[in-house]
């Protein structure tokens, strides 16, 4: 009988250990760099902002209220995922550049890259970064995250802006990809023509970086 009670106790302990994992909330990141990105854009009248991640309704509302901007959503992450599922066909860099072809050079005030570059190889990163630099106006800014450790990436992240200095990260499934780590010198090289104005290493091992086109 005592053994039976012990079995129940062990079972409830195991359930308690599992429960927090099952009910894991999306993590919240506090940012020191994002407020500076916003501050730069808020000085511009009716800025044009490009988001290369998937559309997030809360972000649309946030940027609309804060900046009264024109927000261009180019879901390049979806393109990366489609390419990872079916690797044949056009090179990924060709597809990415084709998707951005509707945007004129020197027409954009801000770009939100989020963590897109973690999922790209070196050549594709180089091609995309060059294109984004061309799209930016003088004084334009680019905001992104860059992982610092090589790892197998099994999920994408949706960044949901909660306020000027914090956002929630909501992961969703991805076709496994190896992260191509970009060191500071690599970033300076692929984003040639841009200045790194802020770079903060977060506790998660991710580098949060703000570039400005001089």
Partner 1 sequence: MWKRDEAVRPPQPASSPSPGAVPETSTPRVVDASRHSHSERDTVNIGKSVIIKGELSGSEDLTIEGQIEGKIELKQNVLTIGPNARIKASVFAKTVVVQGEVHGNVTASERVEIRDSGSVDGDLSAPRVAISDGAHFRGSIDMQKGVQQGSAKPEVPKVGEKAAETRSATAPAPAVSVAAASGSSGAPVR
Considering the complex, state which of residue 61 and residue 195 has its C-beta at the smaller distance from partner 1.
Answer: 61
The Cα 148–Cα 118 span in angstroms is 9
Give min distance, CB of 100 to partner 1, in A: 12
Residues of this chain that interact with partner 1 (CB under 8 A) are 46, 55-57, 60-61, 63-64, 68-75
Considering the complex, state which of residue 75 and residue 186 has its C-beta at the smaller distance from partner 1.
Answer: 75
Considering the complex, state which of residue 57 and residue 214 has its C-beta at the smaller distance from partner 1.
Answer: 57
The Cα 209–Cα 4 span in angstroms is 57
Instruction: Provide the H-helix boundaries in the chain.
Output: 2-22, 34-42, 57-67, 76-85, 92-99, 122-135, 184-190
Nearest CA-CA partner of 77 in 46, 103, 113: 113
Considering the complex, state which of residue 79 and residue 188 has its C-beta at the smaller distance from partner 1.
Answer: 79
Chain-centre distance for alpha carbon 161: 12
Give min distance, CB of 1 to partner 1, in A: 50
Give min distance, CB of 78 to partner 1, in A: 8
Considering the complex, state which of residue 64 and residue 176 has its C-beta at the smaller distance from partner 1.
Answer: 64
Give min distance, CB of 114 to partner 1, in A: 16
Give min distance, CB of 64 to partner 1, in A: 4
Please report how the helices 92-99 and 122-135 are oriented relative to each other, as an axis angle in degrees rounded to 10: 10
């Amino acid at each position: 009988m005592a053994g039976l009670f012990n079995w129940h106790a062990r079972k409830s302990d195991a359930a308690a250990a599992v429960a927090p994992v099952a009910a894991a909330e999306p993590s919240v990141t506090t940012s020191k760099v994002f407020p500076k990105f916003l501050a730069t854009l808020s000085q511009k009248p009716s800025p044009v902002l490009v988001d290369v991640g998937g559309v997030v309704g809360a972000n649309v509302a946030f940027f609309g209220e804060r900046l009264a901007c024109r927000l261009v959503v180019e879901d390049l992450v979806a393109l990366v995922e489609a390419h990872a599922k079916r690797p044949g066909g056009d090179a990924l860099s060709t597809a990415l550049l084709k998707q951005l072809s509707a945007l004129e050079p020197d027409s954009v005030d801000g770009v939100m890259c989020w963590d897109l570059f973690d999922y790209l190889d070196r050549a594709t990163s180089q091609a995309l970064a060059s294109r984004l630099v061309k799209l930016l106006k003088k004084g334009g800014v680019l905001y992104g995250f860059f992982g610092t450790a090589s790892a197998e990436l099994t999920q994408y992240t949706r960044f949901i802006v909660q306020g000027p200095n914090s956002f929630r990260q909501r992961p969703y499934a991805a076709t496994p990809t190896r992260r191509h780590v970009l060191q500071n010198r690599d970033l300076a090289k692929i984003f040639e023509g841009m200045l790194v104005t802020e770079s903060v290493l977060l506790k998660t091992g991710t580098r949060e970086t703000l570039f400005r086109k001089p």
